[in-house]
């Protein structure tokens, strides 16, 4: 099954990165690695800057996002973060 996102590019279910992004968000959320895995480069850099300016407290955003990623169903995660490309929460 192939899904077309808003940008006109296709996303296949094999590209569902829910588990990887969720675990990285929980473990290394402050570094924004979970954003880079999902293809959100600009948001990943913003996450790093937030964490640096808040002396590490910004990493709570990554923790929250990791938990949100893992609690969504596979279909809901794919539709929200890979097809519609919603970068935050």
- Domain residue ranges of the chain, discontinuous segments joined by +: 12-83
CA distance 10 to 29: 27
| pLDDT tens-digit series, residues 25-81 | 999 989 999 999 999 999 999 999 999 999 989 999 999 999 999 999 989 998 888
Position 49 scores a pLDDT of 95
* pTM of structure: 0.78
CA distance 23 to 14: 18
Beta bridge partners of residue 11, listed in sequence order: 3
CA 20 to chain centroid: 9
For the cut 90, the answer to whether the pLDDT of residue 14 exceeds it is: no
CA distance 59 to 33: 11
Handedness of CA 50, 28, 44, 70 (dihedral sign): negative
């Amino acid at each position: 099954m192939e899904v077309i996102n808003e940008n006109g590019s296709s996303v296949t279910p094999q590209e569902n990165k829910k588990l990887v992004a969720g675990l990285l968000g929980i473990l290394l959320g402050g570094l924004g690695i979970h954003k880079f895995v999902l293809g959100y480069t600009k948001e990943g850099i913003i996450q790093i800057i937030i964490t640096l300016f808040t002396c590490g407290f910004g990493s709570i955003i990554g923790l929250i996002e990791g938990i949100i990623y893992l609690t969504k169903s596979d279909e809901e995660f794919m539709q929200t973060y890979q097809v519609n490309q919603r970068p935050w929460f």
